[in-house]
Amino acid sequence: MGHEEAFVRSFIVKTKQDRYLQKLASPRHRRAFLSRLHHNLDYDSRFARQIPVGEQSVARILSLLRELGAPSVCHAITANSDLDGKELLLAKALDTIVGTGNGAILSCIPGQLAYYESEEQSRRFILERHETKPA
């Protein structure tokens, strides 16, 4: 299972998973999914931890992700076509997306660890699951 499918299976509410996977797989409908990243992502709140406002710098977010085992490379899911679907250095990806006002997901460990930034300034989350099988 790749980063995108693992992200959806682990972090998106069960009732939306199939629809999200269909959209991500289709070049024609992928944009509809990517537009949801801005503010309406149907993530499972049981696995989301909002990063406190005072800890939302690129350096601190990188530190938090590294403490949780994030490798140096991540997979980007974002409306930014220069980054979407690409494997990127985590530090560079964070530097590029944090604070831009665009929704983005950085999948660090497929189905286990990701970063989500909505378009709202203070809505930044670490998504984490410890079990090996998605719910």
Is 134 within a domain? no
Number of domains in the chain: 1
In this structure, is residue 117 part of a structural domain?
yes
pLDDT of 13: 94
The reply to whether 133 falls in a domain is: no
Predicted confidence band of residue 135 (pLDDT cuts 50, 70, 90): very low
Provide, rounded to the nearest whole percent, the portion of the chain with pLDDT above 70: 95
pLDDT bin (cut points 50, 70, 90) of residue 72 is: very high
- pTM for this structure? 0.89
Using an 8 Å Cβ cutoff, are 56 and 122 in contact? yes
102 part of a folded domain: yes
**Residue (of 26, 6, 2) closest to 17 by Cα position:** 6
Residue 63, CB half-sphere, CA atoms under 13 Å: how many? 7
- Higher pLDDT: 59 or 37? It is 59
Instruction: Provide the token pair at 19.
Output: 């629809």
Tokens of 27: 């070049």
> Which residue is associated with the tokens 């460990």?
109
Distance CA 126, CA 51 (A): 7
Contact 68, 75 (CB under 8 A): no
Structural domain for 77, as ranges: 3-128
pLDDT at 131: 64
Looking at per-residue confidence, does 110 or 131 come out higher? Answer: 110
Provide the β-strand partners of residue 50.
Answer: 125
State residue 100's pLDDT score: 84
Asked if residue 19 belongs to a domain, the reply is yes
**DSSP 3-state assignment of 17?**
helix
In sequence order, what are the beta bridge partners of 114? 107, 127
Contact 12, 22 (CB under 8 A): no
